[in-house]
Amino acid sequence: GNWCVSLQDLVDWRKPLAWQVGHLREKYDAWVHQPVDRPIRLFGNPFLEASTKTSWYWVPVVWIPVVLYFTWHCYTTLAKGTTKLELTSDFSIPIHEHFFPLLFLLGWFLWSLVEYCIHRFVFHMKPPAHNYYLITLHFLLHGQHHKSPFDGSRLVFPPGLASLMVGGFYLFLCSTLPVIIGTSVFVGGLCGYVVYDMIHYYLHYGSPKRG
């Protein structure tokens, strides 16, 4: 009990935490895994602070129209029968609209793989005790979620920040595959992300019943 109390005393809760956590050094890992049921202030700047919070419903409100539009666009474009996947200069495979569900599921699978890797190797890394900046980055990306798991305003990814990652995923797929095929894979990944974030929020906040 006393140990937990002394861990919580390592920071000044009246001040923004973002610039304090890096000074915890080797105590950071133990501190961040002692959850508290209280709101956390990350930044003093009100605009910066507001940009780290979002209500759960903004995720479907922003992204589901994008998913629906791209699904319609990809399906109707593939239905024209003009899309080909060129494997060599004289060999190509025609890609019809029947392939769309497979490309969509491939995107969903890719998102799941990316999400697992980010969680496993970035969010759950143990930042080196001597590196102030890595500790701060870890706390901002994911540590604050372990510290205050019941903060409902920080359980989903703010769409503004998410758009950078979503945009990067889109550009990567469209530069490695023919644009309409890349977009079909992209929309499956985006749908997978929305479902993931909603399940994540529900498991923390929706009081799911046993069984």
Give the pLDDT confidence of 52-85 residue by residue, as tens digits.
889 889 999 999 999 999 999 999 999 998 888 8
**136 falls within a domain:** yes
**210 falls within a domain:** no
Q: Is the pLDDT of residue 209 over 80?
A: no
**2 falls within a domain:** no
**159 falls within a domain:** yes
- Taking a C-beta distance cutoff of 8 angstroms, is the pair 148, 40 a contact? yes
The whole-number pLDDT of residue 1 equals 52
**67 falls within a domain:** yes
**79 falls within a domain:** yes
Q: Is the pLDDT of residue 125 over 90?
A: no
User: Among 5-19, 74-88, 93-107, 159-173, whose mean pLDDT is lowest?
Assistant: 5-19
Which residues span the domain enclosing 79?
7-205
**211 falls within a domain:** no
Total tally of structural domains belonging to the chain: 1
**1 falls within a domain:** no
